[in-house]
Structure 1
């Protein structure tokens, strides 16, 4: 006798079939995103090879490219932007803010030369994507976001995705996070009118800072700031960029 639609066995069979179908769809989606990430990494490498970025004698490090291929960028953008998550362009994340294009994330990460034992400060958490990338290279990442809803959402997202090396804070990043200073590396993901003195103080001797500097509607440059062992500071322009402004009461 065939089980009826009301029979418990039929119900269990239907649940099992639905679960298998759902698992198959998830695997297909994961495979598609792995392919998209691989294509994104190839594009980053190609852009870097042809960019002719001054003051650099090497391309983006293989370790950075590997991490870019692992972090799920689609998890760090709003649902309407997920189909575009692996395109090499900035995307809106709400509150007038954006997630930087993958090439710029990779370039800034590479310029920091993060080592496994390093402590890194990020100013401008945004969606949390840059912090997630850095956390795969550093011992600890401390990230600050001035826009409270973005900061809370990013912190929850990073915890949900098990990026345990990241500590979050809502506050004015201009003043850094003195409690955990000094830092081996500092990255600023919004354009300042100048390099904030508190960040220079919190940078460890021998450390590096990457920061976009310039007015919102004028030319901005990505700067590499290096602090020598004796505490002296030097800066180098890397390339022109366009970032949202660093906001706060400073």
Structure 2
């Protein structure tokens, strides 16, 4: 496989047509080597429009979903970012290039170790991988400018929104199959939040977030 051609095709044929037009994001996707964050058994899927399996039943999100979320969060160089669901560390690496500091939470110890190794080899030094239940967030180190949930949840807990600074943004894929929506929440004041639906998609669940109770009659 011609890796650079495959990367170019991913950007031009999958990502740009999905309304990812921010040149900073597109350039970053060309620089951060996605294939270095994909398990060896799935290298052939590194640039394919699909989720990539990870150890422990986890997945990397599809490239166009990652890129669109990154674009919509509009991360700046002075900002602190919290990511929930490290996976292989790829999204954390992208965020690390945009932000001042990234803390990323991964519940699976083996996956946290893999991500740490991937980030180290990629030379990303401003990302800290923590082994923790991401559903709690990291209230003791907040508030954050940006929070990203790298997977889907039934709903975003108010306790996570409370960890945003005023003006801060949180992106998550919210809902139940077959209808999930990538949503951007912005903290507009101490007590108020605005939200906008970005796009419809379906993504694997993040662990630790309770499903709503289903009543049967």
Q: 1:244 to 1:45 in 2, by over 3 A?
A: closer
Distance 2:72 2:96 in 1: 15
Q: Does 1:124 align with 2:85?
A: yes
Please tell me whether the aligned partners of residues 101 and 127 of structure 2 are also in contact (alpha carbons under 8 angstroms): yes
Where in structure 1 are there 5+ consecutive unaligned residues? 1-28, 50-58
Please point out which of 106, 117, 120 is paired with 1:156. 117
| Deviation readout 1:172-206 (Å, 9 max, x if unpaired) | 11111123311111110121111122211111100
> Using the alignment, how far apart are the partners of 1:150 and 1:144 within structure 2?
11
Deviations 1:82-124 (A, max 9, x none): 1221122211112111111110000000110001111111000
SS in 2 for 1:214: strand
| Map 1:1-250 → 2, pairs under 5 A | 32-49=2-19, 59-215=20-176, 217-248=177-208
Q: Report if aligned partners of 2:49, 2:64 keep a CA contact under 8 Å in 1.
A: yes
CA RMSD of aligned residues (A): 1.7
Taking the aligned partners of 1:107 and 1:220, their CA distance within structure 2 comes to 15
Bigger CA radius of gyration: 1
Question: Any conservation in 1 of the 2:105–2:132 contact (CA below 8 Å)?
Answer: yes
Shift of residue 70, structure 1, vs aligned partner: 0.8
Counterparts of 2:113 and 2:197 in 1: how far apart (Å)?
A: 33
1:198 alignment partner, SS class: helix
Conserved? CA contact 1:37–1:70, under 8 Å: no
Q: Deviations over 1:27-63 (max 9, x none)?
A: xx8xx323322222112444224xxxxxxxxx43110
2:92–2:127 contact (8 Å) kept in structure 1: yes
TM-score, L = length of structure 2: 0.90
Conserved? CA contact 1:119–1:184, under 8 Å? yes
Q: Aligned equivalents of 1:249 and 1:112: distance in 2?
A: 22
The unaligned stretches of length 5 or more in structure 2 are 211-217
| Counterpart Cα distance in 1 of 2:87 and 2:145 | 21
Task: Give the Cα separation in 2 of the matches to 1:122 and 1:191.
Answer: 13
How many positions carry a matched residue from both structures? 210
Checking the alignment, whether the CA contact within 8 Å between 1:189 and 1:243 is kept in structure 2 is: no
Higher strand share: 2
Q: In structure 2, do the counterparts of structure 1 residues 147 and 118 end up closer, same or farther at CA, with 3 Å as the change threshold? A: same
Structure number with the higher helix fraction is: 1
| TM-score between the two structures when normalised by the length of structure 1 | 0.79
2:5 is paired with a residue of what secondary structure?
helix
